[in-house]
Structure 1
């Protein structure tokens, strides 16, 4: 006990203060011992990782695909009323868009509005995107397998319309060019060239919109002029199933690129802040690759 009446510390006590009143043994870092400063703040981001939006999007996608299946089944057999399939598809599409929109808002838009970085690391987002694209291969693969079974059966299909034309060439050129502009936009960002980055990113968005408009015009020509639609036999279901699924992916990609443009105009991106640019680029290049394979297999392959 000292002269002020306080007890002396034990002779073997080599602890030191960590700045918050806790005694930390000498030689041990505060985090190893259990630093409680801001404990609640550090735990909070972990809870934000648990999002309900991917689950909602998955249910929506299943309902959308199931609705199309019921619609085609009902059109061919009349065992299921077609409005059931249409209603299920509409509800599924709404749930899918809500899930994707909610996830994008939670992961990217909300942090951008608050001037914060996304809670996950760049590597986490990129690896998750790669995992999603790997699973998405099976989605397209199921429809391609369906088409391949048609090809090894009775061919040519009686309802086969003229597929190859200048519109397919133009659309393919637009989509390939958009992939190139997005690549060089990302490269310009890495070099700190903001003006070139914004120009190429906005050009990518415009090219994607024009491509989607071209596909809508192609559908108009087939359905109105040729009388060729989703219910025009097995080839019709394969053609509109594959091109429609791809067009849906393009529409989602356009929405994602539009968000990138909005954030880029706000000055959010930089050479070391490109997480969403990297993930959306992976998705867009995947959509581009699927289209090239689709053109070779479906448009060219069905015409020879």
Structure 2
């Protein structure tokens, strides 16, 4: 992913942070994926430290976990920006994107989604283990309410709008493409806001927290992990949307749109599975 600066390739004026890939002189080597991975690992470390800082006898300060989480978010977003910038944006302006390279990037996304299946699969296996046997719903909030149904409808609708935005681009209908892409971004942001509001209702009004039994840890662990993925997806769609406003993408060059679509459809499917297993399935006793 190493590239030269824009002034050496026509001066497109895309001088933003991370304009140089690094380390220099190592061919395809780049540290940006490594930086992104460090930030991603910090999410889990911050969550673990948060749990260690709660309870009647916390082992560490209550602000350590949130501080690590916030710092990890900054590192993750910086690494993600540098990675995406040099993998997609620079090459697009310089005209270096090729069908062969696009195929490799799509395959990379498929492999990445394979790791995501393993990540969520581990979480669901944990839930199935704690779900086995006797199960009391005492103390559970009302899980299947209007909010989760509306949120589910919004996320499903966003998959359709993103799909048809991609179709519009392939048909060279840029106005429809940008409109549907912006609609997808809006639906994703509203979904994230709805999940935050649901957490607020459960924690403040229902007194249902992550420390409330094995179901509490499973519920917030799985839905929180999914929420992080939706947030990342919204960031990616936002980047694609801004690039689209600047005139990028066409029916021949749309690798970023197709790879981001694959990711967004994945988090949509995971959410439907979450609703069926975690929300609906939790209220039934075995």
Query: TM-score normalized by structure 1?
Result: 0.79
Partner of 1:67: 46
Partner of 1:55: 34
Greater radius of gyration (CA): 1
State yes or no: 1:263 paired with 2:243.
Answer: yes
State yes or no: 1:175 paired with 2:155.
Answer: yes
Unaligned runs of 5+ in 2: 1-8, 10-20
Partner of 1:227: 207
Structure 2 residue matching 1:156: 3-state secondary structure: coil
Partner of 1:31: none
TM superposition shift of 1:263: 1.1
Partner of 2:5: none
**Distance of aligned partners of 1:144 and 1:74 in 2 relative to their CA distance in 1, 3 Å threshold:** farther
Tell me how far apart the structure 2 counterparts of residues 103 and 280 of structure 1 sit (CA, whole Å): 14
Root-mean-square deviation (Å): 2.4
Q: Is the 8 A contact 1:175 1:211 kept in 2?
A: yes
Query: TM-score normalized by structure 2?
Result: 0.83
TM superposition shift of 1:187: 1.0
Q: Is the 8 A contact 2:137 2:282 kept in 1?
A: no
Tell me how far apart the structure 2 counterparts of residues 56 and 64 of structure 1 sit (CA, whole Å): 13
TM superposition shift of 1:157: 4.6
**Distance of aligned partners of 1:75 and 1:263 in 2 relative to their CA distance in 1, 3 Å threshold:** same
Kindly provide the CA deviation profile for residues 166-219 of structure 1, in whole angstroms up to 9, marking residues without a partner as x: 111111110001001111111111111112111111111111111111111111
Partner of 2:128: 148
